[in-house]
Amino acid sequence: MVNKRIKKIIKIVIGIAIAVVPFLLLSSIASMGTIDILAVLEFIISPLIIVIILEFAAIIIFIESFLFSKKWRRVLWLASLIIVLSLVTFYIYIPFIPLHLAPNHPDSDWWDNGSVVHILPAVSENRILLKTSFTISLTNPQLNISGEYIPGNMTDTQGYFWYFDAKNLTANTTYQLRLEDSTGKSLCDPWPLSTFPDPNSNPDSLKIVAFTGSGGHDACRTWYGSGQIPLLTRQKLLNRALKTNPDVLVGSGDQIYYDVRYGVTSKLMGDSRRAIAYSGSFDYSKPILGTENENVLKKAVGPQIAYLYGTACRSIPTYFILDDHEYLANDDAIEESSINIQLLLAWINPYVESCITFPPDPFMLEAARTAQRLYLPEFLPDENRPLTLRGTNASDRAKNVSECFGTLRYGNLVEGLMYDVRRYINLTGENGTFIPLDAEQWLIDRANSDNSTYLIHFSPISWGWSAAKWLSWYPDVRVELDGEPALSTNVSKYMWQSGWFDQHNRILNSCSMMENTTPLFVCGDMHTQTAGMIVKSDDLDLSSDPIPSLLTGSLGVDGGGFPSGGIRAIEATPPTDLEVIENLTSYEKAGFVIMNITKENITTNFYGWKYGQDDIEVIDSLTPHFTFVIPSKDGS
């Protein structure tokens, strides 16, 4: 009798332990905040595989227990219960997975960043615009630029974010810059920054680093390892690109990945449990600045921009084009609501509601404008870009800057054109456009001017390749042909507008008419690298003088973010209505391009690296895997 009581007590104790121990373990992990179970598991096997095995094991063990005696049945039930409680514990642990975030200060051994978190400059021949953020709240900081003092302008409501606008500068001149507080105390070490050459001058060369998709928040990396490359690795890739000593950096969209509310991507990004645990949730009924939404946005965007760039680009003029994810949304046109089984298997709400994400709704627009206001320099004015273009000279920005349309003018060597194709999109069928007609006319006028060696379209959207996404110039959709994914126009693309392709051809035609200037399209959006010559676009015959185009690749793409990955599930190829000679077919690795521009040619070197496939140690010595050479028309 005593033995039976003892056995019963032991069983009760074991049962309590099974129920309580996992939650005690979770509590200790949450309180410590430094144990990354996933990092440990990845050395053994993928966490997703482990979870799937355990899920099936719990079910199988429970079912098979009925084939055994009563004694063994309880043992198997106990084993099944342990597995289930372990999975529940892991599910609760997910929001507490540690993050390893720090700003990028690659030369901290000899340059003191002080209280500065990030510096991103925009430059023209006579003006410098700095966007900055700090670890401390400031009052009336100033920029000392070679002895002249420029007052700061606060861009948040708490004194951590400021811009500095220095005007009436001399072309092709190196200035010494120093950030100071209101008492004149230095906030960081001084550094040099040069203005561009005069637009009518004849510079010999220009080196540009370009990429897309640099955004990504470690809190949006799923527990099973999908999402953008971790911040520390993206910083290494960026720093490798900067070791080539570029004169200019161009980010052609998707500096932010933090989608909310709409589509599948929001469930993996800003609406994920881990992201909410780190940043909080937006209140869509309130403005961003001056409410709790301000801190949510800073936590959501700060690690993606301020931490990625830090002070690494303080002496490099930068250009950043907005694309769909800056508006905290993917370009989705979902006709019917559905249940996504893949999300369910990954413990994510599988219900995906029908939606059309663009044009941006008021919150999306405010989020994009506020993020740009805090972190990214707008486009400085250019004498050949109308101040009447939409998004120009807003009351809450520096004078005459543009939020959406930009110019890189480097003497008479290069004129670069940049444009946001999301903010002003319209859905009016054959009259549909990605950019307003007056902005289109500006692009055409610049082609007609024919007064630089090269005219480069730095586009956040692909020219010459498609992966069947909605907001593309092209009507192609993904189909299966003989069991393989392919592009087709035999099926209509939901909410695609025929006017978009017409606008594409009008702009392309203007570039084909240039006699002395060599055109080039340097494209973002699609997370792959390609290069080739556009020979034909519908009825537009370009065979006598094909137009070169390339995709830069994404600095931070991983896994499902490639065109052939989970969302698109098809490699980038020329669309049905185009004829493209491909010099480089789709190369799916994270990376960037370095463009060496002279009067004779543009030599573009492609760099690629793949997370989980290539050793991280090789980043510092990464070499080009492909070179694309475009001779100038005059050859001088």
Contact between residue 130 and residue 175 where contact means Cβ atoms under 8 Å apart = no
Q: How confident is the model at residue 32 (pLDDT cuts 50, 70, 90)?
A: very low
The confidence score (pLDDT) of residue 14 equals: 55
For the chain, domains (ranges, CATH) are 2-96 (no CATH), 116-194 (2.60.40.10), 205-631 (3.60.21.10)
pLDDT(342) > 70: yes
Read off the pLDDT of each residue in 246-256 and give the average, rounded to a whole number: 98
For residue 9, name the pLDDT band (cuts at 50, 70, 90): low
Collapsed DSSP state (helix, strand, coil) of residue 232:
helix
pLDDT at 26: 46
Neighbours of 52 (CB within 10 A): 14
The per-residue pLDDT for range 534-562, each reduced to its tens digit, is 999 999 999 999 999 999 999 999 888 88
pLDDT of residue 29: 46
CA dist., res. 416 & res. 413, Å (int): 10
Average pLDDT for 127-153: 98
Average pLDDT over residues 493-508: 98
Within 10 Å of residue 478's Cβ, how many Cβ atoms? 17
- DSSP code at position 633: S
> What is residue 5's predicted lDDT score, i.e. its pLDDT?
64
For residue 88, what pLDDT is reported?
Answer: 87
Q: What is the mean pLDDT of residues 450-464?
A: 96
Q: Is 172 left (phi over 0), alpha (psi -120 to 50) or beta?
A: left
Which residue has better confidence, 302 or 481? 302
Q: Is the pLDDT of residue 322 over 70?
A: yes
> Which pLDDT band, with edges at 50, 70 and 90, does 492 fall under?
very high
CA terminus-to-terminus distance, the chain: 104
Query: Percent of the chain, pLDDT > 90?
Result: 77
Regarding predicted confidence, which is higher, 55 or 575? 575
Structure tokens given for 117: 């978190």
Amino acid letter, residue 35: I
Average pLDDT, the chain: 92
Q: Give the pLDDT of residue 87.
A: 85
Q: Tell me: pLDDT of 223 over 50.
A: yes
pLDDT at 635: 65
Longest dimension (CA), the chain: 104
pLDDT at 2: 54
pLDDT attached to residue 10: 60
d(CA 65, CA 82): 14
| Confidence at 636, pLDDT banded by 50, 70, 90 | low
Specify whether the CB–CB gap between 105 and 360 falls below 8 A. Answer: no
434 has a pLDDT exceeding 70: yes
Residue listed under structure tokens 């405010």: 366
Q: Is the pLDDT of residue 11 over 60?
A: no
The residue ranges of DSSP E strands in 223-373, in sequence order, are 248-251, 318-320, 333-334, 338-339, 351-352, 355-356
Q: Is the pLDDT of residue 333 over 70?
A: yes
Residue 17 has pLDDT above 80, yes or no: no
Residue 101's contacts (CB-CB under 8 Å, 6 or more residues apart) are 218, 231, 303, 307
User: 349-379, pLDDT tens digit by residue?
Assistant: 899 999 999 999 999 999 999 999 999 999 9
Per-residue confidence band for 91, with pLDDT thresholds at 50, 70 and 90: confident
47-61, 332-346, 393-407: which is most confident: 393-407
Query: pLDDT tens for residues 34-68?
Result: 455 555 445 445 677 777 787 788 888 888 778 77
User: What's residue 34's pLDDT?
Assistant: 47
Q: Is the pLDDT of residue 22 over 60?
A: no
pLDDT 10s digits, 256-309? 999 999 999 999 999 999 999 999 999 999 999 999 999 999 999 999 999 999
Task: Pick the range with the lowest mean pLDDT from 76-85, 116-125, 203-212, 619-628.
Answer: 76-85
Give me the residues paired with residue 381 across strands.
Answer: none
Of 110-119, 384-393, 435-444, 563-572, minimum mean pLDDT range: 563-572
Least confident of 9-13, 360-364, 496-500: 9-13
Main-chain phi, psi angles of 13, to 5 degrees: -60, -45
What's the pLDDT at 79?
84
Given this model, what pLDDT does residue 627 score?
A: 99
**Are the beta carbons of 278 and 219 closer than 8 angstroms?**
yes
Tell me the mean pLDDT in the region 164-174. Answer: 98
